[in-house]
Amino acid sequence: MKTQMHLLLIALIYACALIFSSCETEILSNTAHEPLQTTELSVAGMRCTSCSNAIMEELLSREKDIKYVHIDPSKEPPAINTVVKHKVNIKKDYIKKIIEDSGFSIDH
């Protein structure tokens, strides 16, 4: 009985691993062909992770062509503290407007 349970558990783990690896490959292959542009900004007024989370959520929810956002609220302007990776059809001014609409300013 224990041997059968062990074999069943091994088969289940193997099946899950196959499913997961095929999904991961599909996601990577879909994004690998999309040309992405990087925009670096210095956002003023961020004091904590709640601020950075609000900006990330706003950027990612308002625009599907924004694929990645990294914000480091510990870096004060004029240091670059925000990196956005997006499709080439998204312009820097549009990203700045989304951030400014969220209540933060861009240090020029």
For the chain, domain boundaries: 1-33, 35-106
pTM as predicted: 0.66
Kindly provide the residue ranges of all beta strands, DSSP E only, lying in the chain, ordered along the sequence. Answer: 36-41, 43-44, 66-71, 82-87, 105-106
The residue ranges of the chain whose pLDDT is under 70 are 1-2, 4-33, 108
Residue 81 DSSP class? -
pLDDT per residue as tens digits for the range 7-38: 665 655 544 444 443 333 333 334 556 789 99
- 77 phi/psi in degrees, rounded to 5: -60, 145
User: For position 21, what pLDDT does the model report?
Assistant: 39
Q: What is the CATH number of domain 35-106?
A: 3.30.70.100
